Homo-oligomer: A and B are copies of this chain.
Amino acid sequence: MRIQEVAAEVGLTTRSIRYYEEIGLLAPARSGGDYRLYESEDVERLRFIKGLRDDAGFSLSEIGQLLEDEAARLRNKARFKATDDPTERRALALDGIARIDRQIDSLRAKIERLRGMISDARVRRDKLAARVEEIDAGERRTHVHVDRARTDAS
């Protein structure tokens, strides 16, 4: 796959993709004529980058860190397969677990802060909902109610 096709599929501009390569997030193969050639693995990587950027709001340097951890994971995996020394295999696995735990902690911290913001908002929401119910209770002739479904789940 060449760059424009990848860009269309993933939803990035060619400039962004080249930029990501420039700062070391990516390293596609080259054709004889110096064209960049993207494997499905590269496309996956780009999707991952876009997800981290758009969904989680990570900076490209943070993403770089996560990808390096990912690369270390793959190196560990290869080394794990190459050896049969249980002590080394155990150490490799534990290292992988530590890396993943760091990633999870960072994601979880983000979630916790977002949750705090939600619960603040929910307090305000419930106050308003209570107002509406008061009014409705006062107006016995009407048959309306407030949708409280959103206040149930977190």
Contact = CB atoms under 8 A, between A and B. Distances in A.
A148 interface: yes
Interface stretch (A18-26, A32-40, A101-109): A101-109
Interface residues of A, number: 54
A8 interface: no
| Copies of chain A in the complex | 2
Interface SS of chain A: helix
A51 B118 CA distance: 12
Interface of A: 51-52, 54-58, 73, 80, 85-91, 93-97, 100-101, 103-104, 107-108, 110-111, 113-118, 121-122, 124-125, 128-129, 131-132, 135-136, 138-139, 144, 146, 148-150, 152, 154
